[in-house]
Amino acid sequence: MKKHLKQFLWLSPFLLFALYWLGIYWSLRNPMEEIVYSENGGIMRNMIVKSYTQTIGSGAPWKEDEGFQTFPYSDKIVGGKAHLAVTMFRGTADWFYMYKYKLNESTSVNLIFEYDASKKIFYQSDLYLTINETSYEGQQLLDQLATY
């Protein structure tokens, strides 16, 4: 009996650590919550999930004192004429993604996607065409884009 008690006492810190780790991991219900935890989480964040800024290949680290930060995706993920960046806010998962595709030197198609953490939805919030720093939306966008 004493042998089993000693084994249990010896293993209990490891079991508690494993249960704590599983509790955190199971509380992350979707990929966006995992991303938030990877950047803003506590001590266990680096053991559970890889940092999002590492995943997207951004060389910029998350700065603890900033309210929000924008991180570009690496050229290995998107490159050439495409540019993708994510803007993350401290303490919330309400982030937005900016995608830009250059048609030529002065013309680009720009899309903005947002993630609403309270509703748990990811949606496109804006689409516009920029030609020589002039933006076009709606039917004007389609008319201008027809030339390309």
Domain boundaries, the chain: 2-145
pLDDT at 132: 93
pLDDT at 98: 95
pLDDT at 78: 87
pLDDT at 52: 67
Name 124's bridge partners.
Answer: 113
Mean pLDDT by 10 residues, the chain (148 residues): 75 78 68 65 57 70 75 86 87 84 93 87 92 92 86
CA neighbours within 13 Å on the CB side: how many for 124? 6
pLDDT at 64: 67
pLDDT at 31: 63
Q: How far apart are CA 93 and CA 140, in angstroms?
A: 33
